[in-house]
Structure 1
Amino acid sequence: MKRKRIFIWLVVCLTVLVGGAGVYAYQVYSNVNQTLESVHQPVRREAIEVRPEPLELKQLDPVSIVLLGVDERQGDRGRSDSLMLVTVNPNENTTKLVSIPRDTYVTIEGKGRQDKVNHAYAFGGVPMTLNTLERFLGIPIDYYIEVNMQGFQEIVDAVGGVTVHNTFPFSYEGHSFAAGSIPLNGAQALAYARMRKEDPKGDFGRQERQRQVMEAVMKKGASFSSLTRYEEILQVIRQHVRTNLTAAEIYEMQKDYQQAAQSVEQIEITGEGKRIGGIWYYVVPEAVRQQLSNQLRKHLGLSIES
């Protein structure tokens, strides 16, 4: 797997066609900038973990980004269906990618109760989700990129569909997926990325398929054939993506941080399923949580907690 595309998806999914600006020159550049301005949505919150000094991208400070795949529902704000954390250290040219199981048992910051981590979004949106993750992981969360699952489907269609390699046959939501190399349209890709109950690896298997589809989207989006579809792609991004990254920050990271994407370590959080009060949770032992926190803090250039 070309792992560097995972990082590119996170920080350049908003600018998937920037690489083609040399072909369409000013028109593409102008439209991309307008898109970035429209999806920019700052977060007002009090950070739980404070950096010793403010983050400076131009000084190549290590950075953390959370990708939220949100399953929006009519009448409420929905839940975070997918949670991924990326830490990037441009000085070491390394990237760490942590998939966070949505059923992880955590303390929901601002609620004073323990619950599944994906419920933080339902209770308090992006601010409560970021604060909850900061407390659980013991690190500052610098940026977020939110993509609703309807947008996930439309982005796949906008790039003309994708091809993935499926490791075992299964059916889900009316779609059948054979083993081997298979083409997917948007609806198929969404179902492919959502299934977990038939996967021997459970939620971790689903997370792998989500990353696989994201990688395929970036590969297709970066191809020359997608340049003719860039207006459709940007329209989908405007409708379905939100981030607190500014256009200047995205360009800065694309310029100075993408080399770190050539060395990606994928981390799975070790835990076990338990029923608490009749509800199934994914429980992470404190020793495992602390070890993960120290690993991420070290990667971000922060002091290690005992």
Structure 2
Amino acid sequence: MENRKRSRNKKNPLKKIVLILAGVLLVMLLGIGTFLGKTYFDVKSTANKVSKPVEGRVDTTTVMDGEPFSVLLLGLDTGEFGRNDVGRSDTILVATVNPKESKTTLVSIPRDTRMEMVGFGTVEKAAHAYAHGQEKMAMDSMDKFLDMELDHYIWINMEGFEDLVNAVGGVEVNNKFEFEQDGFKFPQGKNTLNGEEALAYTRMRYEDPNGDYGRQVRQQEVIGAIAEQALSFNGVTKYKQILKAIEENMKTDLEPDEMFKIAMDYRNCFTTIDEETLHGNGEMIDEVSYQVIPEEELARVQLLLKQQLGKQ
């Protein structure tokens, strides 16, 4: 099978996905001495607010020991169009962070992937696991599907995605082809987007010749652009708005000390990023559209993740 891995250098914006969701603000703010005093306590306060353990799961963390660890990254549609329900995981990424190899591996999981809902007794789309049982079911279901034991989770809802874009003053993207979504028109080429526009830009998939895989690329592009802005001097001056957007729209089971540990001691892990996508085949089952993952493709990704965690 073709190896779809793409190694990127440290300028790859995809490395910022992990940084912005698991400590990028700590790196950004703690690395600037003029802001070190009060900013440290502001960041620590935000870290405490977003930290939420998962009841019923054994803590397998190895972060404080400097060992490789895994994270389930979820983008929820909770805040989309003013909704206030639990939401589904519209974006799903599994990251492994390996300090021994100074490398991070990111695997995009299609939201329509057909898999078992562990603890619910059904087989549905991967995006539904969070809706049925929040962090625990999302992690338990992905554990079984990928034949591994995830260490941590981080989620941010779609309203938070919009708030983050606004907090950093908007983002610039390079659109591959013209399309319309949610009342907005996006011409081909460079577009400067506010939060509402960025959310619409990342939602479109039906007009994309690559379907959900094309949408994943746009989501990654916008997340990278958010981080680029946050890491700029302009972003630093707006750190309070950024922290507010994060603490109101994000949760993780990482404890504050673990977040600081990642920010300070795992930096080299983000200089090399291996980007992967779990590829499936579109199938209609009981009048529902799924991505069904071939056994050999699933085995390939399972082995890759285990190798990156030093468990194979």
| TM-score of the two chains, using structure 1 as the length reference | 0.93
Matched position secondary structure for 2:129: helix
Matched position secondary structure for 2:224: helix
Partner Cα distance (1:298, 1:108) in 2:
26
In 2 relative to 1, CA 16–216 (structure 1 residues): closer, same or farther, beyond 3 Å? farther
TM-aligned CA deviation for residue 246 of structure 1: 1.2
TM-aligned CA deviation for residue 102 of structure 1: 0.6
In 2 relative to 1, CA 15–174 (structure 1 residues): closer, same or farther, beyond 3 Å? farther
Alignment match, 2:67? 61
Partner Cα distance (1:302, 1:222) in 2:
34
Alignment match, 1:8? 19
Contact 2:174 2:190 in 1 (8 A): yes
TM-aligned CA deviation for residue 22 of structure 1: 1.5
Alignment match, 2:33? 22
Aligned length: 298
Alignment match, 2:209? 200
1:238 to 227, 242, 247: 247
Matched position secondary structure for 2:93: strand
Matched position secondary structure for 1:147: strand
Partner Cα distance (1:161, 1:56) in 2:
36
1:144 to 126, 146, 153: 153
Partner Cα distance (2:221, 2:303) in 1:
28
1:216-239 deviations in whole A, cap 9, x for unaligned?
111101111122221111111111
Alignment match, 1:209? 218
TM-aligned CA deviation for residue 197 of structure 1: 0.7
2:298 is equivalent to residue 295 of structure 1: no
**Amino acid across the alignment from 1:279:** V
Contact 1:97 1:264 in 2 (8 A): yes
In 2 relative to 1, CA 240–225 (structure 1 residues): closer, same or farther, beyond 3 Å? same
What is the 5 A alignment of 1:39-54? 39-46=50-57, 54=60
What is the 5 A alignment of 1:138-287? 138-287=147-296
**Amino acid across the alignment from 2:47:** L
In 2 relative to 1, CA 249–133 (structure 1 residues): closer, same or farther, beyond 3 Å? same
4+ residue segments displaced more than 4 Å: none
**Amino acid across the alignment from 1:143:** H
Matched position secondary structure for 1:212: helix
2:104 to 81, 86, 95: 95
Alignment match, 1:79? 88
Matched position secondary structure for 1:25: helix
In 2 relative to 1, CA 14–106 (structure 1 residues): closer, same or farther, beyond 3 Å? farther
Partner Cα distance (1:61, 1:17) in 2:
23
TM-aligned CA deviation for residue 55 of structure 1: 3.6
TM-aligned CA deviation for residue 204 of structure 1: 0.9
Contact 2:61 2:152 in 1 (8 A): no
Matched position secondary structure for 2:95: strand
**Amino acid across the alignment from 1:290:** A
Contact 2:71 2:151 in 1 (8 A): yes
**Amino acid across the alignment from 1:56:** T
Moved more, 72-81 or 108-117: 72-81
In 2 relative to 1, CA 38–11 (structure 1 residues): closer, same or farther, beyond 3 Å? same
Partner Cα distance (1:251, 1:259) in 2:
14
Contact 1:17 1:230 in 2 (8 A): no
Identity of aligned residues (%): 38
Contact 1:16 1:218 in 2 (8 A): no
Moved more, 58-67 or 113-122: 58-67
What's the Cα RMSD here?
Answer: 1.7
